[in-house]
Structure 1
């Protein structure tokens, strides 16, 4: 049965998954050690870490709307996707050359702009290539492959940090290699689906067009915004891990644990959602997040944070692909790029206030306040999802 379902996943989805895998190897090699590089090498404070992460994510997230809308208007998604992955790869040497926080900000901004350009067209490509009966499985598979890269990257960083005596810049330089391979695979391997030629005749960002996406879709956007107001940069997770007594050398391995459980859960959860529905699974994912963040607030030993990191990966497997599949379920095919753009805008725009709030709470009260606040936002988002579910019945 599983083999038959795998056979129903189109070639484009597999290739996009492997492109994401290689890109995440590259990105996570950098991200798993970047907060430590900022704090220990460049000497910045936690508020500056939050500011760098928040500005990069929130500013670049605006592009997700426009790139998604452009892919709908022109009926062309691949070119924008290639451009986005290419830009993210192009700026990676700036991390290795950084001598001040401003360099890191430029690098993070360029990387996130690239992500802003590629994400909505890429997510729409997955739905364009897949029949409705297997949408959840397709997004789950792409997320699983993506996440294999996301745990391989920190593992590679750990090996390089061990062999290179905590040489951050060596990690940053070598992270360029899988990024280049990802862009080459995307450019040569992905074909524009025939369904993509069904382009929009009008501007997808017109008010009447946006209204046609429907209340259920905009309800999901509100949920994504609310949840992510409490979902600050993962840099704070890494700093909490370090605070709990995990050494710099082993911090990247916590990202490995997170993404291992994420990878193992994303595809099975997507498959289950095709059979039993998605909303309740997403409520479960948000509720699990609330419990995990509450656990981080009161964890002070390495074994506690290792266990919570494993559960955090399970939350991601129950949430990220399911939210994308819910969007694909609710919008017409010629507006998918625009719809994914706005849901990603909500997610990205929330990160600046979320990261600034997290950094401020940590500095003024302590790490407990940062994680308790994140837990409360997740509870509110789960409650709003339940209200949406009740109104749909």
Structure 2
């Protein structure tokens, strides 16, 4: 049920405010992520395997917390509290990266940052769903667009600040947008009214969400997550095709720009033509992106692949989350988001370690072909999921 205070873009103020929180948080996150691969390799002497391992460990550490936080949010119906704690942890830890002197320091701080993300993601998504009417795809699309506007601003700021401030100064600067995000969340975002009472037995009953359709969807989404190797490898590939290292932040910004522009259209496609169809469009864009990036020998063809990758990100981030409420019961919504986020996060470590090993031992082309093959399997699995849902609806 969407709250009565509808404002711009046809969604409640709560959704817009959560989007603004994500906007400022993503500025701080992408300030770091747009320069982190080159910082690790050039300043700290890390190898591609180490870069992949850091990102894999950091993302995988969030997986279990996403499930637990979603279940706790369903159990207590206090979703805002967990969301605040998660955002606070991430935004407090990120500036400390300015004092990192080894890749071990970066690993520890990335783990801390991702712990915060693990705590906040499932309850925040449940808050968005609870603040929405039937146009849930639009709600997630608008939230994701605001989130990604921050992801565009972050690397652009990094490009402008890298020479005057250096890597350490950029990391310390993240404290400013982080503090703004926490203040908006604490002061202005409201706990949406719950449609169900707190379920004290929710952890025991969590298996109730694992119906056939939901399980098949999770398998498909997990295969996709295994294919989506880290941004870091795209930025390292940029240097290989002739883009200067100091310009890689702008490559990252290009990804985020097209991520932004595809978010709301993907939400509209999701609501109008079916959410799983929108997901399949995202998978096809990823296949095209990886093939282009893998075989590019010139910057312009590589940048076309980067654009496709950004479009895929906006489509997937909007549509995959919007599918969840239609596959599970209302009282298990937070837990369902937790299971989804845990599943897609759990494969981050092995897939990025594998991609890093392939990149270092066989070359970058093979790393992206590895992602292409897994994305192809994900696309086939999602087609099977859609057929299962169609047969279920026809009965």
> Which residue is 1:169 aligned to?
168
In the alignment, which of 192, 203, 206 is matched to residue 205 of structure 1? 203
Work out the CA distance in 1 between the residues paired with 2:212 and 2:78: 27
> Which residue is 2:105 aligned to?
103
Residue 221 (1) aligns with residue 223 (2): no
Residue 340 (1) aligns with residue 337 (2): yes
> Which residue is 1:370 aligned to?
367
> Which residue is 2:181 aligned to?
182
> Which residue is 1:29 aligned to?
31
Work out the CA distance in 2 between the residues paired with 1:148 and 1:196: 31
Work out the CA distance in 2 between the residues paired with 1:344 and 1:244: 34
Within 5 Å, give how 1:174-323 maps onto structure 2: 174-195=173-194, 198-202=197-201, 204-206=202-204, 208-323=205-320
Work out the CA distance in 2 between the residues paired with 1:317 and 1:31: 18
State TM-score, norm by structure 1. 0.95
After TM superposition, give the deviation of residue 26 of structure 1 in Å.
Answer: 0.4
State TM-score, norm by structure 2. 0.95
Structure 1 residue matching 2:62: 3-state secondary structure: helix
Q: Are the counterparts in 1 of residues 209 and 336 from structure 2 also a CA contact under 8 Å?
A: no
In the alignment, which of 319, 322, 329 is matched to residue 326 of structure 2? 329
After TM superposition, give the deviation of residue 333 of structure 1 in Å.
Answer: 2.2
> Which residue is 1:146 aligned to?
147
Work out the CA distance in 1 between the residues paired with 2:206 and 2:359: 42
CA 1:5 to 1:383, structure 2 compared with 1: closer, same or farther past 3 Å? farther
> Which residue is 2:76 aligned to?
74
Q: String of CA shifts for 1:352-373, please: whole Å, max 9, x gaps.
A: 0110000010111110110001
After TM superposition, give the deviation of residue 233 of structure 1 in Å.
Answer: 1.5
Q: String of CA shifts for 1:252-271, please: whole Å, max 9, x gaps.
A: 11111111111111112202
Q: Are the counterparts in 2 of residues 77 and 196 from structure 1 also a CA contact under 8 Å?
A: no
Work out the CA distance in 1 between the residues paired with 2:209 and 2:193: 24
Work out the CA distance in 2 between the residues paired with 1:213 and 1:174: 43
Within 5 Å, give how 1:9-88 maps onto structure 2: 9-88=11-90
After TM superposition, give the deviation of residue 213 of structure 1 in Å.
Answer: 4.2
Q: Bigger shift: 215-224 or 149-158?
A: 215-224
> Which residue is 2:393 aligned to?
none
After TM superposition, give the deviation of residue 85 of structure 1 in Å.
Answer: 0.4
Work out the CA distance in 2 between the residues paired with 1:196 and 1:353: 38
> Which residue is 2:126 aligned to?
124
Q: Are the counterparts in 2 of residues 228 and 350 from structure 1 also a CA contact under 8 Å?
A: yes
> Which residue is 1:113 aligned to?
115
In structure 1, the gaps of 5 or more residues are: none
Q: Are the counterparts in 2 of residues 261 and 310 from structure 1 also a CA contact under 8 Å?
A: yes
Work out the CA distance in 2 between the residues paired with 1:356 and 1:318: 26
Work out the CA distance in 2 between the residues paired with 1:391 and 1:230: 23
> Which residue is 1:158 aligned to?
159
Structure 2 residue matching 1:92: 3-state secondary structure: helix
> Which structure 1 residue ranges, 4+ long, deviate > 6 Å from structure 2?
none
After TM superposition, give the deviation of residue 143 of structure 1 in Å.
Answer: 0.4
CA 1:304 to 1:7, structure 2 compared with 1: closer, same or farther past 3 Å? closer
Count matched residues.
Answer: 385
CA 1:213 to 1:131, structure 2 compared with 1: closer, same or farther past 3 Å? farther
After TM superposition, give the deviation of residue 175 of structure 1 in Å.
Answer: 1.4
Work out the CA distance in 2 between the residues paired with 1:142 and 1:315: 16
After TM superposition, give the deviation of residue 6 of structure 1 in Å.
Answer: 4.5
> Which residue is 1:355 aligned to?
352
Q: String of CA shifts for 1:192-231, please: whole Å, max 9, x gaps.
A: 11116622131x232x432344221121111111111121
After TM superposition, give the deviation of residue 8 of structure 1 in Å.
Answer: 3.0
Work out the CA distance in 2 between the residues paired with 1:252 and 1:196: 44
Q: String of CA shifts for 1:25-71, please: whole Å, max 9, x gaps.
A: 00000000001000000111111111111111102221000000000
